[in-house]
């Protein structure tokens, strides 16, 4: 038994190190892209037609935040991402438990912090070593989609604080099911499409939509210039 335990421990350690090192490689951008495409485009459809449980929706976001822990090397960032993740996990467990206590607004604020750190870590990984390959291009797309998800979270925070954020032919309930509408409006703002079916309902949402549009225009230009510049060094 003691020998078996000694064999198992190194295996567990090796698996942990392999998992942790994977998220620091360029190959991890491919898996992240699949997760982000699902979150940004498929998940809102599933939510809208009631084909997915809200517990699963929350698990998708938690997995994104969880990968952020392994995307950092510095001890401070590891502690920061771990602290934010476990805070998020604790708040969500409270909401889905039988306890008559929940901190929905706080949960969303921590979610925004988690997503912001996730984006920061991915930008660092994207431009490390001044190397350009297909994975770095995928990484640039990941950051773009992450910004859209972050925008959706902020629109929700605005609604939770002042009672409105976006308007149009929709009724917002102030819970997870609204994510599909926030995600759609965040995407059309970031891509500067602006179909007009939904629109910002107050000055905070207008400024956020304007900010997303500005980022949506400048981000590709800056990233392309940086990647092209890296190939000439």
Q: What pLDDT digit, counting tens, does each position of 65-92 carry?
A: 888 777 777 888 888 889 999 999 998 8
Its sign, for the CA torsion 48, 37, 96, 153, is: negative
Contacts of residue 185, defined as CB under 8 A and 6 or more positions apart, other chains included, come to 152, 155, 166, 198, 209
Give pTM, 2 decimals: 0.88
Q: Which tokens is 158 given?
A: 């605005």
CA distance 49 to 133: 38
Most confident of 57-71, 75-89, 167-181, 202-216: 202-216
Query: Nearest-CA neighbor of 107 among 57, 147, 148, 143?
Result: 57
More confident position, 178 or 6: 178
- Residue 198, SS3? strand
CA distance 109 to 105: 6
For the residues 157-176, what does the mean pLDDT come to?
85
Task: State what percent of residues in the chain have pLDDT above 70.
Answer: 88
Q: Domain total for the chain?
A: 1
State the chain's mean pLDDT as an integer: 84
Instruction: Decide: residue 33, CB within 10 A, 0-12 exposed, 13-18 middle, 19+ buried.
Output: middle
Length of the chain: 233
Domain range for 216 is: 2-231
């Amino acid at each position: 038994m003691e020998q078996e335990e000694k064999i198992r421990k190194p295996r567990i350690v090796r698996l942990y190190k392999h998992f942790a090192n994977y998220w620091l490689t360029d190959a991890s951008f491919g898996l992240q892209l699949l997760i982000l495409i699902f979150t940004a485009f498929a998940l809102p459809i599933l939510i809208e037609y009631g084909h997915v449980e809200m517990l699963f929706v929350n698990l998708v976001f938690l997995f994104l935040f969880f990968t952020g822990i392994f995307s950092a090397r510095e001890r401070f960032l590891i502690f920061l991402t771990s602290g934010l993740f476990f805070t998020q996990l604790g708040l969500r467990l409270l909401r889905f438990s039988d306890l008559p206590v929940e901190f929905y607004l706080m949960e969303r604020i921590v979610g925004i912090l988690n997503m912001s750190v996730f984006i920061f870590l991915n930008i660092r990984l994207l431009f490390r070593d001044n190397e350009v390959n297909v994975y770095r291009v995928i990484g640039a797309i990941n950051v773009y989609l992450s910004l859209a998800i972050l925008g959706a979270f902020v629109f929700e925070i605005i609604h939770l604080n002042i009672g409105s954020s976006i308007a149009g032919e929709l009724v917002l309930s102030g819970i997870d099911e609204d994510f599909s509408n926030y995600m759609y409006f965040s995407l059309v703002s970031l891509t500067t499409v602006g179909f007009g079916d939904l629109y910002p309902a107050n000055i905070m949402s207008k400024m956020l939509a304007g900010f997303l549009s500005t980022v949506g225009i400048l981000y590709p230009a800056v990233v392309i210039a940086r990647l092209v510049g890296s190939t000439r060094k």
